[in-house]
Amino acid sequence: MPWETKTVMEQREQFVNEVMARKSTVTALCLKYGISRKTGYKWLKRAAEGLPLCDQSRRPNRQPSKTAEEIEAKIVEMRLSCRAWGGRKIRSVLEADGVEGLPSDKTCSNIIKRNGLVDPEESAKHTACQRFEKEYCNEMWQSDFKGDFLLGNGVRCYPLTVLDDHARYSLRIEPKDSATDVKSSFIAVFREYGLPNSVLSDNGSQFAGAHRGLSTFERFLMDLDILPIHGRPFHPQTQGKIERFHRTFKQEALRTIPSNMTEATVRFENWRRLYNEIRPHHALGMKTPASVYLPSTREYYEPKPYVYGEGAKLFKVNSWGYLRFGSLRLFLSESMADTRVEVRFAEDEKIWIIYRNYIIATVDAVEGKLLNRHIRRL
């Protein structure tokens, strides 16, 4: 008998009444009402205990795994103050602060989503990518300018950033009024943290000379035995770490525009400490950059004249930055004026132009044509 003309509750009550009146066996009545014997005995038990015959929620009366309201409030509060932080990072920071009863990383992320604190467009940007990193601290630093913007007083600000490739440690965030001078900023960083093995930057004129010859910055680095490296043009992935750092910097430190250079300096330095000492990093196993980074053992020094090896063929660059030997006339850089460089014949009919212990240009020995200006150590 299908339950069509009466409500479910009414049918259950009628089933129980017929069983109690012994109108038929339980098996026959279950068949009549189209229910299993197990279901029939369930309703009979409910009736005997004086319980209602309605469906009961399967949700447990207690949820021991449910996140406490005060913990959820802390997660939401931290997300509101650090909008770029995900569940894993927030959990790591709260755990370091001694907060107990924290849920899993995934649950923290779900709490953020449930409270409407996830921007779908920003979330879509966080795509996985292939990473590389140097094995040791100071093996390579990355540097770039984080664009430019107008301060509240109308002055244009150019933030210069320097980042250790291995530890992701922020070595410097300096607001500058132009993007031309970087040497003085690097001297300050070198004095504080020592000298790296190499510096990776883009091909901006303040960093690279490219076809225009060596830049002043490139010579400055080689004088300190630091290899200048430049990313491929129009290929920002080469400097993926500092590009990602800039995005985080913009999201967290530039939500509002500083009114002047003084305010920018204070804000950038405060955020740099937060980034280095408090904010855990996914690529570091949720450690902070400050807990991983170690300063260089190579201290900054004033460069001394370089002594080339015995038998080296040295030529003087003229006051206009040109090197002449034989029929070759090659522009090196005005920054190299009146400087001696070595000319060395290499294999495969090539000529190396060498400054200190760096090859700064390669020339075809037969045709006398410049092949490349790729800087590399000997």
- Looking at the chain, which runs of residues are DSSP E strands? 141-145, 149-150, 156-164, 170-176, 198-201, 227-230, 314-316, 322-325, 328-331, 340-346, 350-355, 358-364, 370-372, 376-377
Contacts of 364 (CB under 8 A, 6+ apart): 349, 350, 351, 370, 371
pTM of the model: 0.69
CA distance 121 to 118: 9
Q: Within a domain: residue 1? A: no
Give domain status of residue 307, yes or no: no
Q: Considering 93, 125, 157, which residue would you say is the last residue of a domain? A: 125
| Domain assignment of residue 136, yes or no | no
* pLDDT class of 127 with cuts at 50, 70, 90: very low
User: The CATH number of the domain where 287 resides is what?
Assistant: 3.30.420.10
- With respect to residue 217, please indicate whether it lies within any of the assigned structural domains: yes
| Same domain assignment for residues 152 and 202 | yes
Q: Are residues 91 and 211 in the same domain?
A: no
The backbone region for 311, taken as left when phi is positive above 0, alpha when psi lies in -120 to 50, beta otherwise, is left
**Residue 132 pLDDT class (50, 70, 90 cuts):** low
Close Cβ partners of 65 (under 8 Å, ≥ 6 residues apart): none
On whether both 278 and 186 belong to a single domain, the answer is yes
Q: Is residue 79 part of a domain?
A: yes
Assess whether 119 and 154 both reside in one domain.
no
State residue 317's pLDDT score.
95
Q: 295 or 101: whose pLDDT is higher?
A: 295
135 in a structural domain: no
Q: Where is pLDDT greater, at 55 or 10?
A: 10
Q: What is the mean pLDDT of residues 22-27?
A: 81
Structure tokens that stand for 375 in this block: 């800087």
Q: Identify the pLDDT of residue 300.
A: 97
Q: Are residues 328 and 365 in the same domain?
A: yes
User: Is the CB of residue 331 less than 8 Å from the CB of residue 321?
Assistant: yes
Range of the domain at 13: 8-48
Over residues 318-341, the mean pLDDT reads: 91
Note whether 111 and 149 are same-domain residues.
no
pLDDT digits (tens, 9 = 90+) for 67-100: 787 888 878 887 877 777 777 778 878 887 888 8
- Quick one: 171 and 273 in the same domain? yes
Question: 209-230: per-residue pLDDT in tens?
Answer: 755 789 999 999 999 999 999 8
Do 211 and 335 have their domain in common?
no
Q: Give the end of a domain, one of 230, 258, 292.
A: 292
Residues 263 and 145 occupy one common structural domain: yes
Going by pLDDT thresholds of 50, 70 and 90, the confidence category of residue 264 is: very high
Beta strands 350-355 and 340-346, pairing class: antiparallel
Residues 22, 147 share a domain: no
Please report where in the chains the tokens 């301060």 appear, as a residue.
151
Does a structural domain hold residue 178?
yes
For the cut 60, the answer to whether the pLDDT of residue 241 exceeds it is yes
- Average pLDDT over the chain reads 85
Based on the fold, state whether residues 107 and 185 are members of the same structural domain.
Answer: no
* Whether residue 239 has pLDDT greater than 80: no
Residue 105 lies in a domain: yes
Model confidence over 159-172: pLDDT tens digits?
A: 999 999 999 999 99
Give me the number of domains the chain comprises. 4
- How deeply is 120 buried, as exposed, middle or buried, from its count of CB atoms within 10 A (0-12, 13-18, 19+)? exposed
Domain shared by 232 and 325, yes or no:
no
